[in-house]
Structure 1
């Protein structure tokens, strides 16, 4: 008897969120997420702590603690892998938390591009499911879409 090796479950999902805020303003706010997000999104983020590094450069490790209203997660620890302020581009990998029970790898790339007077936040996740039963990361994509839309609303008011 023989078994077939399971095929890799490496996948990718992408999200584009259009914003009225300029690319510079949106990028600056995203780079300040550790301070801003718990303040402006208390229903989602309890806190974002810098565990290692300066909070902004590659190698930084951040601990995101989610509010009780976020039913699917209590925390996520992520490592910033790459930052390019000039190109408004950041990549990070989730290294601990409930996400790691579902996915062998979970790496996100975020880029802010100018579009007219506004901008577009491009968010992409490269992930590998821990098993075939694991669902696609749609709930995480929905949270990201909501976060970027609400961040834009906040920036337009302030």
Structure 2
């Protein structure tokens, strides 16, 4: 893949917990992630804008591949009907590897079944930068942690 080209990675995971609640967490209550998935997310700091609105900026401390990392991200899209939230990385460790990094989370509910779709869109700074497969694994692990937390709470 050529440098300067936006690449896309998509993974889906089925959850048994409430899809509306899952969407709400990423839209308006991301500060609860450190409680729901403490192995993945350690700290959350709200920097600017209102929770649950486009333009909201947060700083997240997380652990990826056994290393403590930080990401500053801005909410760039919210679609209530599609249960979709998108974030753009605007600072932190990922900006050392990627010129552009956008994370989209969408929940599709069909009765009792909820399908969470994670989409990563990214542009590498250098050709030899690896695709973010382990970061996608991180998001899937976090999804399962949230599901487990929700199922225990009900």
TM-score clears 0.5: yes
Residue 49 (structure 2) aligns with: 53
Find the residue that maps to 1:31 and give its secondary structure. helix
Residue 129 (structure 1) aligns with: 124
Find the residue that maps to 1:79 and give its secondary structure. strand
Unaligned residue ranges in structure 2 (runs of 5+):
none
Unaligned residue ranges in structure 1 (runs of 5+):
1-5
CA RMSD of aligned residues (A): 1.8
Residue 18 (structure 1) aligns with: 14
Find the residue that maps to 2:26 and give its secondary structure. helix
2:37 to 21, 41, 50: 41
CA offset at residue 110 of structure 1? 1.1
CA offset at residue 32 of structure 1? 4.5
Task: From the CA coordinates, give the structure whose radius of gyration is larger.
Answer: 1
Q: With structure 1 as the length reference, what TM-score do the two structures score?
A: 0.87
* Bigger mean CA offset, 129-138 vs 8-17: 8-17
Matched, 1:143 2:138: yes
Residue 64 (structure 1) aligns with: 60
Number of residue pairs matched by the alignment: 152
Q: Deviations over 1:94-139 (max 9, x none)?
A: 0101101111100111111103302011110110011110000011
Matched, 1:111 2:122: no
Counterparts in 2 of 1:56-95, with a 5 A limit? Answer: 56-67=52-63, 71-95=66-90
